Structure 1
Amino acid sequence: MATASFIKSSPILEKSAWLQRRSLPFTTPASRRSLPSRSVAVRASYADELVKTAKLIASPGRGILAMDESNATCGKRLASIGLENTEENRKAYRTLLVSAPGLGDYISGAILFEETLYQSTADGEKIVDVLGKQKIVPGIKVDKGLVPLAGSNGESWCQGLDGLAARSAAFYQQGARFAKWRTVVSIPNGPSALAVKEAAWGLARYSAISQENGLVPIVEPEILLDGEHGIERTFEVAQRVWAEVFCYLAENGVLFEGILLKPSMVTPGAECKDKATPQQVADYTLKLLHRRITPAVPGIMFLSGGQSEVEATLNLNAMNQRPNPWHVSFSYARALQNTCLKTWGGLPENVDAAQHALLVRARANSLAQLGMYTGEGESEESKEGMYVKNYSY
């Protein structure tokens, strides 16, 4: 297997050049010959490994633990239980998560923040090695966060493409095998055509760069829950966003068999008076997948987006009670960790109980991935919503 240091850049067009070519007619042989093509040698360097990694993460009854909150956001989580935002406290909490006995029975991948990728536990064992013993694939958050998008309707774009190739190569050497890039689309703010195109283009460039350096890209254009709109409006916007995303992924030569998607479920806005049942969420979300997502993609790892722990699990379960050609699973952060964090409270004597709480949620979502979740015995706390307006981390 070639190492990441040997990966060379492929002849992929930058955005301005592609937009010029996009305006040309696509019916003539000359214009078809002008379309960008990826180097076969570059793709072959990691293609088999990318496909294998994606399929491993999208394995039956398992999903992703998203524990990639920035240090600032992790600090907010710690503050909620009265802990100071120090590296030691962050390490203690993240160690608690990855070392939960039997976690790998339900979790196939863990998205890490950069600090965590290079951290060791208090016992001196690398966190990536702890994950490896659990048969959990380490992943890494590679975007640099959201910033205001000039010329838009108060919308955002995601930064982080500068230097991404070198960072990705270093992350691969450290043991990461997949990457995550989150951008957002806001329905109350439009979304504007500019914001949708910027989100799609950034995801496509990130995906191509990640694959060239051995990392399976998670493609995540999160449609925020903000707003009073109904489920039909969310469905309309989601169709538009995913059409744009796959257009740009294809133009950048991204290998679809070597990616994972992290979509929002199709739900009404958080402030909509008409709430949707799990069956309605499943109807609209699966209809979206069938209209926009190729079956070549091995895994659809849904984000929870501020839903309660139980709500996210119920919706996932409803989708998996119907036939579909994908591995429909989860990539949850708060919807896996909320009760766990509160149970821990920063006290060493609560570690076992907190890990048990994490395993309860992981097992529930494992059952939901198999369409076997019943919802019996859930605590009232796990039914509390976690929606935060304009959520970013």
Structure 2
Amino acid sequence: MNIAQLDRMHSGKGFIAALDQSGGSTPKALAQYGVQESSYSNEEEMYTLVHDMRTRIIKSPAFESDYILGAILFENTMDRKIDGQWTADYLWEMKNIVPFLKVDKGLADLANGVQIMKPIPNLDELLTRAVERNIFGTKMRSVIKEANTEGIREVVEQQFAVGKQIFEKGLIPIIEPEVDIYSGDKEKSEEILKEEIKKQLSSLDKDVKVMLKLSIPTVNDFYKELMSDPHVVRVVALSGGYSEEEANRKLAQNHGLIASFSRALSEGLSAVQSDDEFNSKLGKTIKEIYDASIT
């Protein structure tokens, strides 16, 4: 584990950029960027185009460590290069930005009001490759749609079980049990979720470290006590479908909670923009997310 990266993630000022759209979400991310499905004819061409988009974001002068602490990558992005360097190496060596890797393989069908993660085949092999590629940590997502105690417990237990396997490989896991922002009982789900997370944290060995990625809570500062747990490196927030403006407004009301935004980060960026237009829009977005993250 890179101690400089650990210190940066624990106490640095800024947020995490989520550049990890994968599989079914990649066409949507490209479409938002102005690249339609008619622009590619197979998966390889699609991933090349999305890597070009991510490369443009990462290489932008607006994408800098004064505002951004880390970036989450998709496996395909990790295995590609920017200017002759593996993407993770470029992020850290050229930008001083900590690289993470999305490791989950999507969501299982809805049961007990939640969607747990699908099995992750060859996870150990993927983690070994991540270590070789100088990845610092990982991210994996589950979704909670209803305040179902049994379902939420299952989500959290699965997340922490896989998280322990990840930590044993020398990586910091980002635990992401997302509560659907459109849930009719979101606040109740968050109450159950926090208690289940506290149970899992209390059972960890003393040296185990994790990060938490959570939906912006209904009650401001609701996750503040989790931030002080010795096992928790950082608590970060997903945008969850909120617009950039609304996500930033809600985030700013939660002290110590920092962003890990995906769609909100790339909102308004387009393949047809000039570099000046692209960098200006990205810079404005980054500064607004940063300001909301340092409250």
- Residue in structure 2 matching 1:62, options 14, 24, 33: 14
Shift of 1:293: 5.4
Asked if 1:338 corresponds to 2:284, the answer is no
- Residue in structure 1 matching 2:257, options 314, 323, 328: 328
Question: Quick one: which amino acid aligns to residue 49 of structure 2?
Answer: N
Specify the alignment match of 1:77 in structure 2. 29
In 2: Cα distance, 1:254 partner to 1:261 partner: 17
Shift of 1:90: 1.1
Shift of 1:254: 7.2
CA RMSD of aligned residues (A): 2.3
Specify the alignment match of 2:126 in structure 1. 167
Asked if 1:260 corresponds to 2:189, the answer is no
**Cα deviation digits, residues 110-167 of structure 1 (max 9, x gap):** 000000001123x434322321211001100011110115xx3464210244432332
Verify the 8 A CA contact 2:220 2:253 in the aligned structure 1: no
Shift of 1:217: 0.9
Specify the alignment match of 1:361 in structure 2. 285
Verify the 8 A CA contact 1:180 1:217 in the aligned structure 2: yes
Shift of 1:285: 3.1
**Cα deviation digits, residues 55-96 of structure 1 (max 9, x gap):** 312444311000111043121221342433523211210101
Verify the 8 A CA contact 2:62 2:286 in the aligned structure 1: no
Q: Which has the larger share of strand?
A: 2
Question: Quick one: which amino acid aligns to residue 168 of structure 1?
Answer: L
**Cα deviation digits, residues 33-69 of structure 1 (max 9, x gap):** xxxxxxxxxxxxx5xx4x6534312444311000111
Specify the alignment match of 2:43 in structure 1. none
Whichever of the two has the greater Rg, that structure is 1
Q: What SS class does the counterpart of residue 253 from structure 1 fall into?
A: coil
Verify the 8 A CA contact 2:14 2:294 in the aligned structure 1: no
**Cα deviation digits, residues 242-293 of structure 1 (max 9, x gap):** 211332344353745x2211111123xxxxxxxxxxxxxxxx1313433x55
Pairs aligned (count): 284
TM-score, normalised via structure 2 length: 0.87
Question: Quick one: which amino acid aligns to residue 99 of structure 1?
Answer: K
Q: What SS class does the counterpart of residue 70 from structure 1 fall into?
A: coil
Change (3 A) 1:362 1:100: same
In 1: Cα distance, 2:189 partner to 2:47 partner: 40
Specify the alignment match of 1:114 in structure 2. 75
Question: Quick one: which amino acid aligns to residue 87 of structure 2?
Answer: I
- Residue in structure 2 matching 1:87, options 47, 55, 62: 47
Unaligned runs of 5+ in 1: 1-45, 268-283, 321-326, 372-393
Specify the alignment match of 1:179 in structure 2. 138
For 1:228-307, list aligned pairs within 5 A.
229=184, 233-253=185-205, 255=207, 258-267=209-218, 284-290=219-225, 294-296=228-230, 297-307=232-242
**Cα deviation digits, residues 314-360 of structure 1 (max 9, x gap):** 2222223xxxxxx42110111111112xxx2x23x623422321221
Verify the 8 A CA contact 2:144 2:189 in the aligned structure 1: no
In 1: Cα distance, 2:62 partner to 2:278 partner: 14
Shift of 1:311: 1.4
Q: What SS class does the counterpart of residue 80 from structure 2 fall into?
A: coil
Asked if 1:140 corresponds to 2:101, the answer is yes
Q: What SS class does the counterpart of residue 145 from structure 1 fall into?
A: coil
Specify the alignment match of 1:319 in structure 2. 254
Change (3 A) 1:60 1:124: closer
In 2: Cα distance, 1:211 partner to 1:254 partner: 12
Verify the 8 A CA contact 2:10 2:234 in the aligned structure 1: yes
Unaligned runs of 5+ in 2: 41-45
In 2: Cα distance, 1:318 partner to 1:154 partner: 28
Shift of 1:177: 0.6
**Cα deviation digits, residues 2-29 of structure 1 (max 9, x gap):** xxxxxxxxxxxxxxxxxxxxxxxxxxxx
Verify the 8 A CA contact 2:13 2:69 in the aligned structure 1: no
Q: Percent identity?
A: 26
Change (3 A) 1:178 1:222: same
Asked if 1:224 corresponds to 2:184, the answer is no
Question: Quick one: which amino acid aligns to residue 295 of structure 1?
Answer: D
Question: Quick one: which amino acid aligns to residue 104 of structure 2?
Answer: D
